[in-house]
Structure 1
Amino acid sequence: MSSGSLAGRYALLRPLGAGGMGKVWLARDEMLDREVAVKELTLPEGMSPKERAASVKRAVREAQATARLRHPGIVALHDVVVEQDRPWLVMELLRGRTLGDTVREFGPMPADYAARVGADVLEALMVAHAQGLQHRDVKPGNVFLTESGRVVLTDFGIARQEGQATLTEQGLMIGSPGFIAPERLAGEPGGPASDLWSLGATLYVALTGTPAYEGSAAQRVRATMTGPVPVAQGPLGPLLAAMMAHHPGARPDPGAVVQALRQVAAGGTASPLPVNQVATVPRQVRRRGPAALWIAAAAAVVLGAGGTTAFLLLRDRPDAAPTAYTVPRDVCTLISSQEVGRLLHTQDPPKGRPSADQVGPKCGWPVAGTGVGVQVQKDSDTVDPWSMTTASARALFQSQRRYWGRYDSLDWTWPEIGVKKSQKAERTPLHQVTGVGEEAFGYELKGPTGRVHSAHVFYRLANLVVEVEYTALGASPTDEEIRQAALRAAQASEQALRHAG
């Protein structure tokens, strides 16, 4: 099929690539007016109609399980369509390039950068494993480094749920030789430890620029099953060897591996890990070395690899904003208790009250007559703010500016500080705000007396859009003091994001 439309909705524009399991198309979702990627899954030749129907049914079931996964490190699956006797997977469109392509163009990655990538991928795998899904084809071509800084594990199209039959019937081996764990080559269904082995082989390529096992497909399979485990040079070498141990039970616990990868990403070292034991955290040293040179060379395509829970992010200088925030954070930690106390003029600051709506997660710190609030926002097409790209955050920021600029009079309420009934408030003109974020604007709300009682600041930092509100109903704060309090709250939240981890 060279062009056409699926389900009367997805217009196939042009092929993006092809592999053993199918072809990927650039497509347009004509209902939502957005570009998507469509994976056309191909089935082995010679299958009977009954076998083909069973494979299609299994692929749909696996796609449904994959669609439940919600993690910034996992490519989002929007839809599955069965047409022409085969399944088509509709996924988010990622812009950037694969880990394999990046290494081929720029050469081996420095250990700290490769460790960041590995930690992100392993966290995504752990989310899938927790829901009973194995990926089964972790390889450099399925690790995607986006232009916005996300590290995304793609191609869950052959993922397997625990308890399901494997697709090795009809002699079909799922995966890529050289990245398939020994136990799966031996005909076993494998498990989370098999994905860990494949990630070790993937990071070996990232670190050295060459596969752990080279040669023809048959030679790679033979070496994987019978050859010694290769050990790369540098701080990641022993860790990758442990991940690629021949026996699944000899491989370390994934949580310990994530921690060890973070240690290397932060400039420390990681020793081989005992099975199912958490590694001791070495002293972390902040340093700049070969990673800075490699990242500079790759900056035109890959801007960062942020997104671990420790926020091990690429920065040009210690106070620079990361290129992307991809792991959810408790919004109530963005302003410290001490700062809340100073803003609200109390020695007994309230605890943050988390909540959420369709715009995104938020937190409020209210006391009688005054309060401060923070909300991290998202657009309607994104699962959560941490899945936003820098481009979509810029668009959302401008959309918010246009939206709030339309209304001179607003309905306003804040029951927790004592404003339980909706009140009319007049909005001041929108104005540019400096000293917070990469771009920011603000406005104030005035009550019937013409006095400012609330100030709002919207700012964008990398791929996040944040709204901060400060309200004081008493007669003592001046209009300027309220504006400055909102700015201080915004700056406090920005600094918490910049220095996270």
Structure 2
Amino acid sequence: MPGDLYLLAGRYRLIERLGQGGAGTVWRAIDDMLDRQVAVKQVRVPEGLGPRERAEFADRAMHEARSAGRLRDPAIVLVHDVVLEGDQPWIIMDLTTGRSLDKVIKERGPLPPGFVAAVGLRVLSALEVAHAHGILHQDVKPANILLDADGTAMLTDFGIAAPMGGRGDMFGSAGSPGYMAPERLNEQPSGPSADLWSLGASLYTAVEGRAPFERALPAAVAAAVLLHEPPFPARAGRELGGLLMAMLAKDPAARPTAAQVRQVLTALTGAGTAPGHRQQRHRQKRPRRWWPVPAALAAVVALGAGGWYAAAALTRQETGRYTTAPDPCTLLTDAQAARLVKGTPKRSLTRPGECQWLIREGTVPARSLVVRIWAERPNRDLGGPEVAQRRFASEKSTRAAAEGLSQRQAYGAVTAITGVGEAAITQNGFKFYLNSTTSGSADSILLFRTSNLLGEVRWRREDVPVDGSPGKDAADAMADPETAIAAARLITAALAK
């Protein structure tokens, strides 16, 4: 661990540690070249990585920090430089004098709704700029929202920011469980709505003085995010409270857009926005909007486990064929899996809703087939199959946006496939190994929908040689989509029985 006088890159002299979290450690430092104070973030490198994986992580962290450095907004803490020392990434940023929102909440308790709305507007502005540049923040939380003396908010710590269209991988779990959207906890593809979910959770904490999914243990927090609805934030009032509940919807398609969030927060800002200011007793009348929590939501909370299905039945919404997703490990027989992966694979339930069949060559993974299944639930407006259709369309557009070559990773075009469920698409991916233009890992990914069920099949091969120079067509040239398609047809046939 660097000491007080550690000199980074012959230029940045570390003075003191300012804070530490899941994404890394932040230091106060002196830039000897420009004779000014800066903040230096030592990015946390996940434990247990091999040399190649550590190098890949460092390379990705550097690339994403450079991307974040291009963002310009009054509410974004600027990134000035990125440094790689060995395989340890460091990010050099503006040193801000503001205090973090979580510390303000601890000292003062619940904050006035008008002030919270003003903070939300500033952070929303920063997120909209990042999203316009194709970047997700991925760690919006009160500790990363800084407040100046006048209450002006800034969003910091783009250290684990990621490009849109990226897939969950071994490095994609950084963040804070109580402020990570359900799709991120499930390591499913996420988009701008995941950052807005985290903003909603942060504003909920500010106005209530407690986190929406507060629990004693991190595992219990993650389970609450995935399975439970938070209590209605009574201190927020009807309008802000309704907005926050809508932002915290489990289904990304059911959450309000950034424009809708901005409209509500703008209407709520005004007198009594300073954290020490008492709210006025009288309230101006405002027009009723679409986000108040519906009676159906209250019914779901009251019914508890399985309540969504009963509530949907009460409101005559179509639930779909599947009340729960089937065990993915039962959708392929051992013989079928062996034919697909061309060997005798090891089968394992890698996480709830996901099964992997893995072939190793010695101790090194060589080929793997991963099947992920999840059921979509009805929301207040749509039945289960309609929610699944929207989610499928959203996934299709997100994956299409990832087409092309970025650094050493390439994705091909999204292609429709017939004969697999009610709708299906495939996309090929290829990632070059670090400092290599001759080999890498090749993915063929198939997403399908049937009724209210969505499934993903990922066929991965390691040490795939590249035929010719690397380019944006490498993903399709090196792919084997037929194996993923064959697996998906077997799976949908099993589901139809």
TM-score normalised to the size of structure 1?
Answer: 0.53
User: What is aligned with 2:78?
Assistant: 76
Q: Is the 8 A contact 1:119 1:261 kept in 2?
A: yes
Write the mapping of 1:354-433 to structure 2, written as runs, cut at 5 A.
Answer: none
Q: Is the 8 A contact 1:96 1:145 kept in 2?
A: yes
Structure 1 vs Structure 2: percent identity of aligned residues? 47
Write the mapping of 1:180-191 to structure 2, written as runs, cut at 5 A.
Answer: 180-191=180-191
Cα deviation 1:83-116 (Å, max 9, x = unaligned): 1321100000010210000011011110000000
Distance 1:83 1:142 in 2: 25
Q: CA deviation at 1:165?
A: 4.1
Distance 1:242 1:258 in 2: 13
Q: Is the 8 A contact 1:129 1:192 kept in 2?
A: yes
Unpaired segments ≥5 residues, structure 2: 280-497
Q: CA deviation at 1:229?
A: 3.9
Cα deviation 1:321-380 (Å, max 9, x = unaligned): xxxxxxxxxxxxxxxxxxxxxxxxxxxxxxxxxxxxxxxxxxxxxxxxxxxxxxxxxxxx
Structure 2 SS opposite 1:169: coil
Q: Is the 8 A contact 2:119 2:152 kept in 1?
A: no
Distance 1:120 1:44 in 2: 31
| 1:146 and 2:148 are equivalent in the alignment | yes
Q: Is the 8 A contact 1:72 1:150 kept in 2?
A: no
Structure 2 SS opposite 1:245: coil
Inter-CA distance 39–148: structure 2 relative to 1 (3 Å threshold): farther
| 1:240 and 2:244 are equivalent in the alignment | yes
Q: CA deviation at 1:146?
A: 2.1
Q: CA deviation at 1:295?
A: 4.2
User: What is aligned with 1:226?
Assistant: 227
Q: Is the 8 A contact 2:213 2:230 kept in 1?
A: no
1:44 alignment partner AA: P
Inter-CA distance 140–292: structure 2 relative to 1 (3 Å threshold): closer
User: What is aligned with 1:294?
Assistant: 276
Runs of 4+ in 1 over 6 A off after TM superposition: none
1:185 alignment partner AA: L
User: What is aligned with 1:256?
Assistant: 260
User: What is aligned with 1:122?
Assistant: 124
Q: CA deviation at 1:293?
A: 7.1
Q: CA deviation at 1:160?
A: 0.5
Distance 1:51 1:59 in 2: 12
Structure 2 SS opposite 1:157: coil
2:118 alignment partner AA: R
1:245 alignment partner AA: A
| 1:202 and 2:184 are equivalent in the alignment | no
User: What is aligned with 2:212?
Assistant: 212
Distance 1:102 1:242 in 2: 25
Q: Is the 8 A contact 1:229 1:245 kept in 2?
A: no
Cα deviation 1:440-496 (Å, max 9, x = unaligned): xxxxxxxxxxxxxxxxxxxxxxxxxxxxxxxxxxxxxxxxxxxxxxxxxxxxxxxxx
Write the mapping of 1:2-81 to structure 2, written as runs, cut at 5 A.
Answer: 2=3, 3-81=5-83
Distance 2:229 2:47 in 1: 36
Q: CA deviation at 1:148?
A: 5.8
Q: CA deviation at 1:230?
A: 3.0
Unpaired segments ≥5 residues, structure 1: 267-286, 298-501
Distance 2:126 2:40 in 1: 21
TM-score normalised to the size of structure 2?
Answer: 0.53
Q: CA deviation at 1:228?
A: 1.8
Cα deviation 1:357-413 (Å, max 9, x = unaligned): xxxxxxxxxxxxxxxxxxxxxxxxxxxxxxxxxxxxxxxxxxxxxxxxxxxxxxxxx
Q: Is the 8 A contact 2:136 2:163 kept in 1?
A: yes
Q: CA deviation at 1:163?
A: 3.5
Structure 2 SS opposite 1:16: strand
Query: Superposition RMSD on alpha carbons, in Å?
Result: 1.8
Q: CA deviation at 1:133?
A: 0.4
Between 1:156-165 and 1:213-222, the stretch displaced more is 156-165
User: What is aligned with 1:106?
Assistant: 108
Distance 2:86 2:181 in 1: 33
Q: Is the 8 A contact 2:123 2:154 kept in 1?
A: yes
Inter-CA distance 47–254: structure 2 relative to 1 (3 Å threshold): same
Distance 1:217 1:69 in 2: 32
User: What is aligned with 2:424?
Assistant: none
Distance 1:191 1:229 in 2: 22
Structure number with greater Rg is 1
Distance 2:44 2:205 in 1: 28
Cα deviation 1:65-98 (Å, max 9, x = unaligned): 0000001111100000011321100000010210
Inter-CA distance 11–50: structure 2 relative to 1 (3 Å threshold): same
Q: CA deviation at 1:42?
A: 2.0
Q: CA deviation at 1:137?
A: 0.8
Inter-CA distance 293–24: structure 2 relative to 1 (3 Å threshold): closer
2:231 alignment partner AA: P
2:105 alignment partner AA: V
Structure 2 SS opposite 1:13: strand
Distance 1:241 1:169 in 2: 30
Inter-CA distance 176–99: structure 2 relative to 1 (3 Å threshold): same
User: What is aligned with 1:193?
Assistant: 193
Q: CA deviation at 1:292?
A: 5.4
2:192 alignment partner AA: P
Write the mapping of 1:284-363 to structure 2, written as runs, cut at 5 A.
Answer: 287-288=271-272, 291=273, 294-295=276-277
1:225 alignment partner AA: L
